Amino acid sequence: MSDLSSELDSGTYPLLSAIHGPADVKRLELFQLPHLAQEMRDYLIKTLAPIGGHLGAGLGVVELSIALHRIFNSPHDRIVWDVGHQAYPHKMLTGRLQQMPTLRQYGGLSGFTKRSESEHDPFGAGHACTSISAAYGMVVGCDLTQMDRRVVAVIGDGALTGGMAFEALNNAGASRRRMLVILNDNEMSIAPNVGSMSAYLARLISGRSYTNVRDATRKVLEKVPLAYEAARRLEEHVKGMVTPGTLFEEMGFRYFGPIDGHDFEHLLPTLQNCSELDGPMLLHVVTRKGFGFAPAEEDPETWHGLGPYNLETGEPLSSHGKPPSYTQVFADTLADLADTDKRIVAITAAMPGGTGLARFAKRHPERCIDVGIAEQHAVTFAGGLATEGLRPVVAIYSTFMQRAYDQIVHDICIQNLPVLLCMDRAGIVGADGATHAGSFDISFLRSLPNLTVMAPKDESELADMLATALQLDGPSAIRYPRGNGYGVEMHTPKALPVGKGEVREEGKDGLVIAVGTRTREALQACEVLRKQHGKHLTLINLRFIKPLDSALIIKHLHTGKPLLVVEEGCAEGGIGEAIAALAVKQGWHGPFVHLGIPDAFPAQGTQAEILRDLGLDAAGIEAALRRALDL
Dihedral sign, Cα of residue 606, residue 600, residue 477, residue 84: negative
Options 150, 289, 425, 535, the catalytic residue? 289
Close Cβ partners of 129 (under 8 Å, ≥ 6 residues apart): 82, 155, 159, 160, 162, 163, 164, 165, 373
Catalytic residue, from 63, 375, 461, 568: name it: 375
Cβ contacts of 480 within 8 Å, gap of 6 or more = 326, 330, 422, 423, 424, 426, 455, 456, 462, 516, 517
Contact 395, 348 (CB under 8 A): yes
Determine whether 302 is exposed, middle or buried from the number of CB atoms within 10 Å of its CB (0-12, 13-18, 19+).
middle
**Consecutive H or E run containing 200:** helix 196-206
Residue 339 to residues 24, 336, 366: CA-CA distances in angstroms? 59, 5, 13
Q: Catalytic annotation on 375?
A: yes
Q: What count of other Cβ atoms lies within 10 Å of the Cβ of residue 447? A: 12
Is 39 marked active-site?
no
User: Which whole-number Å values give the CA distances from 422 to 198, 519, 544, in the listed order?
Assistant: 44, 20, 14
Peptide bond into 475 cis (omega under 30): no
Burial class for 372, CB neighbours closer than 10 Å (0-12, 13-18, 19+) = middle
Q: Which residues contact 146 (CB under 8 A, 6 or more apart)?
A: none
What distance in Å separates the CA atoms of residue 390 and residue 369, rounded to the nearest whole number? 13
CB 316 within 8 A of CB 475: no
Q: What share of the chain is helix, strand, coil (3-state, %, to 5)?
A: 45, 15, 40
3-state secondary structure 287-301: CCCCCCCHHHHHCCC
Strand-by-strand arrangement of the 502-505 sheet: 502-505, 538-541, 511-514, 563-570, 592-597
Pairing mode, if any, of strands 391-397 and 344-348?
parallel
Active-site position among 96, 403, 446, 457: 403
Extended beta strands in 146-273, E state: 151-156, 179-185, 254-260
Known catalytic membership, residue 403? yes
Q: Among the residues of 299-391, which ranges form H helices?
A: 326-340, 357-363, 375-387
How far apart, in whole angstroms, are the C-alpha atoms of residue 516 and residue 545? Answer: 9
Catalytic positions are 289, 375, 403
